[in-house]
A and B are shown apart, each in its own frame.
Chain A
Amino acid sequence: MAVSFPFSAIVGQDEMKRAILVAAVDPAVGGVLVFGDRGTGKSTAVRALAALLPKMRAVAGCPYGCDPQPGTPSCAECAPRKAQGEPKSVLKPVPVVDLPLGATEDRVVGALDLERALSQGIKAFEPGLLARANRGFLYIDEVNLLEDHLVDLLIDVAASGENMVEREGLSVRHPARFVLVGSGNPEEGELRPQLLDRFGLAVDVHTPTELPLRIEVVKRRDAFERDPDAFIAHWHKEDEKIRRRIVAAKKRLPDVVVPDAVLERAAQLCMALGTDGLRGELALMRAARALAAYEGDTSVNDSHMKRIAAPALRHRLRRNPLDDAGSGTRVERALEDVFAA
């Protein structure tokens, strides 16, 4: 795999970076969708995430990377092992798996291992991308161009956290809990609403308009392309700082409290925007809590809420095609109203 651009070296794009970090701190936030114009560094930021994630503990030899802790979802082989006490485990990197366009269904869900079947006549399951992404991130670039039959698969698995394979005489089920990360250009097509719904946060990115920022973007990118190793070494310390903050935030997360006043604000905001059901409030709550944890706070305050409201709610608004303002602007407006009151 080619080296990726360091996360800390990305210029501007604060909303996108914040959303990605929030998802890294608390996977329960449920995925990030990055939509924006071409050439705004969408995929750069997502690919940079892999280098930031702290390692995780997984059952040794398990192809699904099951969590050795009791009471966590496990595959057919790990379940009995876990019943007999904590199995042997290893530290491994949190997977960030790319689902490339042109992938076939058999590689996404897993299929019969052709090699072993042909040479030894053994019917064995060869896990696919969903298995590899378990407990990690599944990244789909150009998510709005993904083939429909793959979107169907994803929608189902992302909701149930489990992949069921019934093909070629195989019957396999394994845990597939992953944070879905997608990026795309809205000009190339809309996203299916069901898939949109699977993303906890949605970010709109634009090219920075201030000239000094733009110059900095080009300078850093150029430096990276000319000598990637030196550039990464230069930014390593910054990346390391972010990684430590993520680790600390994950530890702190269960203790972060959400005061009632903040909860009330969230409810007011969602009501003002007319988001469907309670999903919006829950997503906003979780995201604000993860942000508070990342920033070292022990309780959620208005500032956290304000900064994460747009990504948490923008894709849950009812569409009003005759309103020319983007959904982000509508959230901003509602924020002003609610917080002014």
Chain B
Amino acid sequence: MNLITLKNKNAQEVASLLDIKERNSLVEMFSTLGLPHKMTEEYHYFDVKKLLDVEYKTLNYVPKSIEEGDKIEIVDGVVTKAPKGLRVYSEVSENVDMEHFDALYYLGHLLSPRVIKIEVDGDTHVEILHKYTQSDALIHYRVEISNQANRHVTMYENFETEEIKNTLVLYGYDMNIAQDSTLRMVRLQTMSGNAYSMVSSHKITVAKNASVVLKNFDFGGDQALQVLKVELGEHAHVDAGHLLYLNDDSKRGTASQIIHRGEHSTSKQVAKNILDGQARGIFDALIRVEKTAKFTKAEQNSKSILLHKKAYMASKPQLEIYIDELEASHGATTGQLDEKQLFYLQSRGISHLEARKILVIAFANTLIETVKDTRHQERIKNAFEEVFYASNKG
């Protein structure tokens, strides 16, 4: 399959090319938004054409019997393992946002009408491991997560590959965070060596008095874009932290929309970006405050460090506000490591490479240390150090 064939096609043509006989409203949404290209705002800094204009191998998504395991394992888009007591199953989804801004959100739903549903009961920790084993493949799947009211869930999302190359992964979550509940999602993704590229397109709905905490740790190379839409109800809260450490000629980042719909809703979005080599980081983030969202508090900040003269950061924090009764702030800074600080560390016998690492870690630490579980905090630090040392060999 070559996705570029969907370019500039009307709904009927899209339905025919994808061999879809139902779900007309989704086809309409996809063809109205159109296949993303360079001028599509959220894909402007991301080389999406390079990913779409490729002949990919298509896979068969046959649900397997799910073995018991200590985590949820999704291999090439199919669930293979899940912890006992957790409801994980595959079903045709009716829960699709009909106002999403991302065409690939709809393409994902069109390609994957059956979604992986995860129902989390009680206060718990869940790990989701995504494994990719196929080269030159288009791997597409969608995951729907729901929790219960008044419950607190932490999810750790990790990625693994076998020795693969040139695969494209399209996946994403539709999350419904129930009233008075909390969901924390800690996502760690290290990519390298052209194994796979990814566009993940999510929709998160946060109900009244609920809270979602999203911590993304994206390290290494390759191409990946996280497209995120969050809708906040009354007194709902989102705390989104994005840490990027990129090297080589990677292009990765986040394009997001946080929409305040309910009164007294609050959002905090912090991005810390460290760009090495010829990497390009993306933080294209909009916070929109609707007329219904009086007394909103919204805070958005992006800080970037460029470790190489060819590195580039596209930081675009934006506020779109339709009311007066709110508190909102946003800002973005980009700079280099501080020479005085580097020298101070070196003057105590610490090597230039180690001093750079200490300062970069210090910059990143404020986000890494927001992960409460010290074991996972350590895991993230180790993943960071592994990538940092690989691209900064003495």
Chain B binds chain A: no
**B residues within 8 Å of A by Cβ?**
none
